[in-house]
Each structure stands twice: as C-alpha cells, then as structure tokens.
Structure 1
Amino acid sequence: MKYFIGVDIGTTATKAVLFDEKKVQVCKSEKGYKLYRDVTGKAEEDPEEIFLAVIETISKLTKILNQNDELLAVSFSSQMHSLIAMNKNWEKLTNLITWADTRSDKFAQKLKAQPDAQGIYERTGTPIHPMTPLSKILWLRGEKNEIFEKTAHFLDIKGYIFWRLFAVNKIDLSVASGTGLLNNQILDWDSELLSLSGISKDLLPVIVSPYEYEVSIEQGFAEEMGVSKQTGFIWGAGDGPLANLGVSAIDTGQVALTIGTSGAIRSVTEKPQVDSKGRTFSYALDAEHWVTGGPVTSGGDVFRWLQEEIFEKKYSFDDLTTLASTVPAGSNGLIFHPYLGGERAPLWDADARADFYGLNYSHKPAHLARAILEGIVFNLSEVAEGLGEINEIFATGGFTQSELWLQILSDIFDKPIKISQSSEAGCLAAVIMAEKALGLTSKLESPENVVRILQPIQKNVIIYQELSLIYHSLTVQLQPLFRKISNFQKKYSN
C-alpha cells in the first residue's frame, strides 16, 4: 500500500493524518501544547514543544505501516502570522509569537495612520494588525531593541520545523503572503516595507513554492519518525488557504467557513483581491490561487472561555451545546459580541472588547451559551459581506461536531451548509498539494467528501435577520469606546 501523511501545525495542537493513495483517511494522531497568554497581550508558544509534537504525531502514524508499505510524502499545513527571532548562531531569541499576540498594537496603529496605509494593504493583501510579522518586527525594534539588534533570522513555525529537520532557511509563498511583508504583485519581499521595518532582505527566509519539497532528512529524526531519509517533506501552505482546498470550495461563489480555536470565512480567486473597506485579506494558496476572506480571533476559544472561566469546567462542550439548545433562536434578545481577545476581521481592532447586551432577569446560563454561539456566527456573517455573492457554504473545523452550531450557521446565513466527511480539511489539502508536488496530478482537485447538507429553518432565519441589524448597530456604536476601556484595563489590571 502507498500512503501520505498530512500534518496541520495548529495554534493549540498539531494533528497528523494518514491517508491512503485514494485520499481516504486511515487514522489520526494529535498532540496539544500550551499557549502562554498574559494581560499585556502576549500569546506565545514554545517552538520546541511544537517541533516535538510534529515528531510524535508522525511517528505514531508510521508505526502502523507494514514493512512493504510506502510512505510517498509528508505534507504540511500550518498556522499563519507566527514569528521567531533567532541570532546568527541559530539560537532562539524569542518564543514563537503567534497570530493572537497583540503587544504590537501601538505600532500597528502608527502604521495605519501613515498616508500610505491603504497602499500597504493593497500591495500585501494583509490588513494592518498586530497579528502580522510586520507589526511584530516593528514592536521588537521599538520595545525589545536588545533582541532586535541580535536578530539574524526571522522564521515562522513551519520554517522552524524545516530548519530543525533539514537545516534550510525557507518560507512557502502561502505563509509568506500573510506576513504583511510580501508584495503580492512581484511575489517577493516588499523593499519599502523592509526599509520601514529597519531590516534587510537577508534576515528573512527564501520564498519557495508550496510544491517545493525537501529530502535527506537528518538520520536521527528519520529513525525517530519512522520515515525514510528520502521521504519527501512538502512545504505546503497556510492553514486558511488549505481549508478551502480541503472542502472543495475553490470555485466562484463557494466559501469555506472554519471554526476551530479561531475562525475564518474564505473564497478563492485567480489573482490577489482586496476589499475597498479593508475588511478582508488576500493570501496565496499557490501562485495561481488566491484566497480572499477574513479571520476572526473569536472562535471556539471564546466558547472554551465560557466553559472554563465562567462555568468553571462544570460542563463539557457537549453539555453546554445541549444546554444552549434548550432556548430559542435569538437567546431571548441576548446579544454577545465575541471580542475577548480583540478582533481581526471585520474590525481589525486589537482593542475590541466583548459584551453581553440585553441581559435581564429572564436570562439563564443556557441563554449565555447560545448567545455566544450566535455571536461568533454573527461576526463571521459581517466578514462575509466583503466576499461578494455566496452560493455555497462548506463547513470545516471542530465546530462541525456540534449540530446546534451548524444549524445556527445555516439560519444566520440563510444558506444550506455542506458538511464534509473529514473535519481535518487542512491535512487532506496538504496531501492534495503533495500529489501535485510529486507529479501525480496536474491540477488541484479535492475528492467529493460532502456527507450531508443542513438546511436553514425559516422561522429562525426571520429572527436572526432582525437581530443581526441590532448586532451590527451595537458594534458601530461601541467601537469608539473600545480603546478607552482597553486602556483602562491595561492601566489597572494586576
């Protein structure tokens, strides 16, 4: 038998999936790790923990292969916008600074105030925000200058993994397109932004095709993972663009909607495409496929907050969704804006803060739970307004395990929701890219894996259409207060 392994380096866990040559999922391995947060906006991870998670998840899968089986390739999906600073001896100067880190907000705000801010967005396809490596580098230069001056290499997490395995210094086009430093017209680092950041091109990795692959892995790692030294490790792409490919949402009018730790909604175009209101990004899947959409910081992590911090782990995820299902659509007029960690799309405001609006004596824990689920989807529907006409929605991510959440999605969007067989769309898409990289196919094509279609409930649609107007109006009115309350919190937080 011949197999592929797709690896997804996520924010809270690395997942590896073994597929046969017909792209049927055989088994999965997963390893979690800690996201280190504090009141300053820090959101870091230990890159070595993630590296070990990659090793472990792959090794668990190869153990089930027989001696005569062939592993054709290992291919990667990874979180975007991450940054690690390393010195000239390739020693870490920082942990992995993730997309969720907002400490560079002051520098992002200064960048937004520049006359060329819209031009920066249009050249890079990346909204100006603390999530981007561009903002993080400006922050390091401005507030961590002792680190900045010692930095000889800036890597993302996938680049770090490949550097450890193959001693190469590269970044794939897809991940590079989310750095805020890539000029999407010339597909190279933007010279003006390099100058603005105070760095030279040689501090950044070499940009390579998502179809490039490495062989001749270091012998010790090959043995530990149970792979041949000549097994191809495909660079692959970022997790957002790959999610569209994994669920076959690559034609006009098709969108992929993902909710995991965070969330996103995306569609595919042939060329980079930006929004006149700056609500969306435009990232590469490869040079011929560009994914337009918006990532929301507020996804499943918000529901986890409810579970752990408010209900103190008294309820499981299933318990909470069951509880939420006991109250009607609209949560009896309770609205939740899910901006616990600031927000990316559609606001691009690290100072955004969450709120429950409409609370009264009738509201119980079940209403809070349902309002949070609804608020996350309302937020995604606001992002969707920047994508043009939507004909089909393909759902992927951990939230597809919740029937209630899927129904809320269908009702708020008033569209049928197509649910894929595999929730690991990123791993599947990485394998599809591996096939093209190895010359086994000439085009990107995902297997038909829609197992069912969920239809909207019209009485709920009517309720949500009315409530969405209030949700949007509240967002507009609250935005001027976000920075004030954020500054207050920073001033008085312990």
Structure 2
Amino acid sequence: MSYVIGVDLGTSAVKTVLVDKQGNIAYETSESYPLSQPKAGYSEQSPEDWVKGTLTSLRRLVEISGVSPDEIEGLSFSGQMHGLVLLDEDNHVIRPAILWNDTRTSKQCRQIEQVLGDELLQIARNRALEGFTLPKILWVQENEPEHMEAARVFLLPKDYVRYQLTGDLAMDYSDAAGTLLLDVTGKKWSEKIASAFHLPMSLCPRLIESFEDVGGLLPEVAEQTGLSVNTRVYGGGADNACGAIGAGILSEGQTMCSIGTSGVVLSYEERKDLDFEGKVHFFNHSEQDAFYIMGVTLAAGYSLEWFRGAFGKDLSFDQLLHDVNNVEAGAEGLLFTPYIVGERTPHPDADIRGSFIGIDAAHKLPHFARAVLEGITFSLRESIDILRESGKTITSVVSIGGGAKNETWLQMQADIFNAEIVRLENEQGPAMGAAMLAAYGSEWFPSLQDCAAAFLRPAKSYQPDAKRAEKYNELFAMYQDIYGQTAELNKRLAAFRG
C-alpha cells in the first residue's frame, strides 16, 4: 500500500490524516495548543507550539496506523492564513506569532489605504483588513521597532512548521495572497507595496507552488516522528484553498459553502481581470495559475453557538434544532442578522451588530433557532449573489463543515441559494486538500482534478423547492434592508459596549 499525509495547522489544533490511493482516511490524529490573548483584541501563539504539536501528531499517526514508514510517500500542509511569524538572521522566532483573528491593526489598515489608495486593490486585489499580514508587520514596525530591526524574513504559520521539518524557507502563492504584499495576478512580491512602507524585499521569502517538492524530512525530524527521510514534503496551501481542493472546487463554475465558526462561499476562477471593488476576496488558488473568489460571514456557526449558549445552554445542537423543521420558512416573520462580531462580506464593518427583527409574543425557541439558521444562510447568499453578478452560473454548491451536518439546514441552503446542494461522503476539509496536494506532488495522478475524481464522492444532494425559494427571495430582500437601517444606530451603540 501507498499513503500520503495531510497536515492541517488550525488555530486551536493541528490535525493529521493518513490517506490511501483511493482517498480513504486510514487514520487521523490531532494535537491542541494554547492561544494567548494578552490584551483585548490581541491573539497570539508560539510557533514552537505548532511544531511540537505537529511532530507529536505525526508520531502518533505513524504509531497507531502501524503502517511502514516506507509506504508513506509524501506529506503536505494546510495552514491558518495571515499569521505573522518574524525570524532573525539565524532563523529564530523573534516574537509570538500575531494571528488572523487579531484586531489590533485598525490604525495600520487606514495607513495602508491612505498611502496606496486604489493601487492596493489593483495589485493585492483585496482591501486592507485587520486579519491580513501587512498591517501586522506595520504594527510591529511602529510599536516594536527593535523586533522589526532584527527581522530578516517573515513566514506564515504552516511555512514555519514546514521549515522546521525540512530546513526550507518558502511560501506558496495561495497563502502569500493573504499578506497584502503579493501582486496576485503577477504572482510575485510587490516592490511598490513593500517600498511604500520601507520594507526590504528580502523580508519576503521565496515563492513556490503548493504542490512543489521542497525536499525530504530532516534526519532528526524523521527520527522524532517515525517517518522515513525519503518521505517527500510539498509546499502546501492556505486553509481556504486546501478546503476548496478537499471539496473538489477545481474547475470553472464549481462553488462551495463552508460553515464553521465563520462562513465561507468560495468559487473557482481563472479570469484575472475581474473587479469586485473589494467586496469579496480574490486569492491565488493552490491549483496552478488559478484563483478563487471568496466571501466571508464572520459569525456563521459562531452565531448558532452563541445562541445556544445564551438561550439553550443545557441543550445539545441536535436538541436545539430538533423542532426547527416544524417551523415554516421565514420563522413566522422573524429575521436574524449574524453580525454579532461585526461583518466582512459585503459589509466590512467592525461596528455593525446583530439583530432579531420582528419578535412576536407567539415566537418560541424553535422560531428563533430557525431564524438564526436562515440569517446565517442569507448572509452567505449575499456572497453567492456577488458571484452571480460577476457572470458566474451557480447551479450547484458543495456544502462542507457544520452546515453540512443537519438535513434541515442543507435543504435551507438549497432553497435560499436556489441551487442544488451537495454533501460529500467523506468530508475532511483542508486536511484532505493537503493530502491531495501530496498525492498530486507524488505523481499519483496527472492533475488535481483527476485526484478529486478518485478521492471525493457525493453522498446526497438537495434540490431547491420552488415555493420556498420564492418566499426566501422576498425575505432576503427584507434581510438586505436591515444593514442600512441599523448601521448608524450600531455606530452610536458602540460607545456603550464593553
């Protein structure tokens, strides 16, 4: 037998999966690590914790599988995006990594907008948002000049782990696209952006393809993990790009909806000249010379988690949603907006907050639960509509994550998106995408598309109901009015929040 390993470096844990040539998950393990929040809005981690967790997870994977190390041909990565890792001249970590969900950089975002103006969207193809890497670099430049002076190169999380496993310093295009320093369509670091903020080009690492062979494991790493030094390591990709690969989003028209803590609508794209005016993200895909368009709902599954904690903390999610199917579409006139931590698409607004609109004395817990599901899905529909307005035909959407675990919610997605919703048989998200990059890099398949055809199998599809789809169209128009009606009020309320 032959196997590859996918390593998914998340925010709370690293997950490793062992995959055979038929795409079956033979074994999987995970190791958690701590998150540090030293101040309000700060979110940091120790890069060494990622390395330790990855080595432990790989060792456990080899041990519990009983597979011969020589049968494991390749390994690749998926990683949390945007996190800043600064290394000194000896490639030692200078300070804790500043993560994607750190919000300290609002001042630096405004600075980037002021200095670059329209050129930012022309080059980096994305707005300056707190989560991206360049604002974090500028924050260190302003607040920790001694650290910036010592910095010789920056990496993203999975790239640092890969460096520790192989000794190779590099960054793939799909992850580099989330830094605001990459010329996305030119596939090169932007001298214009770097020089605008007095950053040396040497700070930017070598760029590679996600499926590129970057070498074998260091002897000491092979010894610690039980893997062979002959196991080849491939570049890997950003978690959203790998999630797309793991869902088979590898050709024009293919779209996925991923509902986890946040929600993502992502569609494959080959056109370079699209202009979304920053309403959605435009990133390099891990597929060569391809891109993906992505809209984000900041609090998708998190809205449901918040609702359960606030109003049904003694209930499981299954119990909370048990009677939702007995409530008609529209929750009998109750609408919810999932802006409980601000919003990203199509309203990049840190001050907006959520609402229940239309509360009636007759409404019970199932009405509110259904309204929460519908509100999350309406928010994702806004991204779907932006894609359709660009000329895309979206008739089928692959649903992954928590939103693919509830039959009622899957049917709701079909009705609200007015598209077929497909649930996969063995959905492993970014970890599977990383394994597929290793399989392709190991030349198991002539293309990633061929790999997807062999690895991914649909389990069930859901078709839109015409009457419910029409009703949801009317409700969606009302939902879209809520942002404009409440934005100014929420700005005034912001002063009263802790």
TM-score by length of 1: 0.91
2:319 alignment partner in structure 1:
319
Equivalent AA in structure 1 for residue 188 of structure 2: D
Say whether residues 1:188 and 2:188 are aligned partners: yes
**Would the alpha carbon gap of residues 30 and 175 (structure 1) be closer, same or farther in structure 2, given more than 3 Å must change?**
same
Q: 1:404 aligns with which of 408, 426, 435?
A: 408
| Residues 466 and 94 of structure 1, relative CA distance in 2, 3 Å threshold | farther
The match for 1:51 is 51
Give the direction of change, closer, same or farther, for the CA distance of 1:278–1:203 in structure 2 (3 Å limit).
same
1:420 matched to which residue of 2? 424
User: How far apart in 2 are the matches of 1:327 and 1:34?
Assistant: 40
Query: Residue in 2 aligned with 1:210?
Result: 210
Secondary structure at the aligned position of 1:215 is classed as strand
Distance 2:295 2:337 in 1: 17
Residue 328 (structure 2) aligns with: 328
Amino acid at match of 1:392: S
Which shows bigger deviation, 418-427 or 432-441?
432-441
Over aligned residues, Cα RMSD in angstroms? 2.4
CA shift, 1:326, in A, is 4.5
| Structure-2 change in CA distance of 1:346 and 1:76 (3 Å) | same
TM-superposed CA distance for 1:454, in Å, is 1.1
User: Corresponding residue for 2:250?
Assistant: 250
Query: Is the alpha carbon distance of 1:287 and 1:327 closer, same or farther for their aligned partners in structure 2, counting shifts above 3 Å?
Result: same
Amino acid at match of 2:241: P
CA contact (8 A) 1:173 1:284 kept: yes
- TM-superposed CA distance for 1:472, in Å, is 0.5
Query: CA separation in 2, counterparts of 1:32 and 1:408?
Result: 33
Deviation at 1:241, TM superposition (A): 1.9
Given candidates 449, 456, 474, the residue that maps to 2:457 is 449
Q: Deviations over 1:279-338 (max 9, x none)?
A: 122211244211112233222233223333x14742222222225444332223222221
Tell me the CA shift for residue 214 of structure 1.
3.3
**Counterpart Cα distance in 2 of 1:464 and 1:486:** 31
Quote the Cα distance in structure 1 between the aligned partners of 2:272 and 2:297: 20
Report the alpha carbon displacement of residue 346 of structure 1 after superposing the two structures with TM: 1.8
- Structure 1 residue 76: Cα displacement: 1.1
The one-letter amino acid of 2:471's match is: I
- Residue 385 of structure 1 corresponds to 385
CA distance in 1, matches of 2:461, 2:222: 42
Amino acid at match of 2:463: Q
Deviation of 1:484 after TM superposition, in Å, equals 4.0
Q: 1:355 to 1:113 in 2, by over 3 A?
A: farther
Q: Which amino acid aligns with 2:165?
A: L
Q: What is the match of residue 468 of structure 1? A: 476
Q: CA deviation at 1:88?
A: 3.8
Contact 1:137 1:197 in 2 (8 A): no
Q: Is the 1:213–1:437 Cα contact (8 Å) retained in structure 2?
A: yes
Check whether the contact 1:127–1:348 (CA below 8 A) recurs between aligned residues. Answer: no
For 2:11 and 2:346, the matched residues in 1 are separated by 21
- 1:129 Cα deviation (Å)? 1.0
Higher deviation after alignment, 413-422 or 150-159: 150-159
Say if 1:88 and 1:152, in contact at 8 Å, map to a contact too: yes
Which letter maps to 1:322?
Answer: H
CA distance in 1, matches of 2:93, 2:225: 24
Determine if contact 1:133/1:179 at 8 Å carries over to the other structure: yes
Is 1:478 aligned to 2:486, yes or no? yes
What code does the residue aligned with 2:244 have?
N
- In the alignment, is the contact (CA less than 8 A) between 2:216 and 2:233 conserved in 1? no
Distance 1:102 1:191 in 2: 26
Change beyond 3 A, Cα 1:43–1:373:
farther
Structure 2 CA distance for aligned equivalents of residues 3 and 40 of structure 1? 44
Give the C-alpha shift of residue 470 in structure 1: 1.2
**Aligned position for 2:299:** 298
Q: SS in structure 1 opposite 2:386?
A: helix
Distance of aligned partners of 1:126 and 1:289 in 2 relative to their CA distance in 1, 3 Å threshold: same
Match of 1:250, SS state, is coil
Per the alignment, residue 20 of structure 2 pairs with 20
Change (3 A) 1:43 1:332: farther
Match of 1:344 in 2: 344
Residue 73 (structure 2) aligns with: 72
* Structure 1 stretch displaced more, 320-329 or 418-427: 320-329
Against the structure 1 CA distance between its residues 347 and 177, is the aligned structure 2 distance closer, same or farther, given a 3 Å change threshold? same
Distance 1:130 1:482, change over 3 A: farther
Deviation of 1:71 after TM superposition, in Å, equals 0.2
Paired residues of 1:406 and 1:417 also in contact (CA < 8 A): yes
Q: In the comparison of the two structures, how many residue pairs are matched?
A: 488
Deviation at 1:40? 3.1
**Could you tell me how far apart the structure 2 residues matched to 1:305 and 1:8 are?**
26
- Aligned partner of 1:83 in structure 2 is 84
Cα separation, 1, equivalents of 2:14 and 2:323: 30
Q: Deviations over 1:367-404 (max 9, x none)?
A: 33322222221111111222122121111223312222
Following superposition, the deviation at residue 123 of structure 1 comes to 1.2
C-alpha contact 1:125 1:272 (8 A) present in aligned 2: no
Q: Helix, strand or coil for the counterpart of 2:141? A: helix
- Work out whether residues 82 and 131 of structure 2, in 8 Å CA contact, stay in contact via their aligned partners in 1: yes
- Say which SS state the counterpart of residue 6 (structure 1) adopts: strand
Query: Could you tell me which residue of structure 2 aligns to residue 394 of structure 1?
Result: 398
SS state of the match for residue 321, structure 2?
Answer: helix
Q: Distance in 2 between matches of 1:485 and 1:293?
A: 30
Structure 2: distance between partners of 1:86 and 1:326:
56
Amino acid at match of 1:434: A
Which whole-Å CA distance do the structure 1 matches of 2:49 and 2:369 have between them? 33
Equivalent position of 1:223 in the other structure? 223
Q: CA deviation at 1:61?
A: 2.2
> Do the aligned residues in 1 keep the contact of 2:70 with 2:231 (CA within 8 Å)?
no
Q: How does 1:39-188 map to 2 (within 5 A)?
A: 40-63=40-63, 64-67=65-68, 70-113=71-114, 116-188=116-188
1:362 partner amino acid: A
Contact 1:11 1:261 survives alignment (8 Å)? no
8 Å Cα contact 1:100-1:131 kept in structure 2 = yes
Give the Cα–Cα distance (whole angstroms) in 2 for the partners of residues 35 and 362 of structure 1: 42
Q: Distance in 2 between matches of 1:37 and 1:463?
A: 44
User: Does the aligned pair in 2 maintain the 1:272–1:283 contact within 8 Å?
Assistant: no
Q: Is the 8 A contact 2:78 2:431 kept in 1?
A: yes
Structure 1 unmatched runs, 5+: none
Q: Which residue of 1 is the match for residue 439 of structure 2?
A: 435
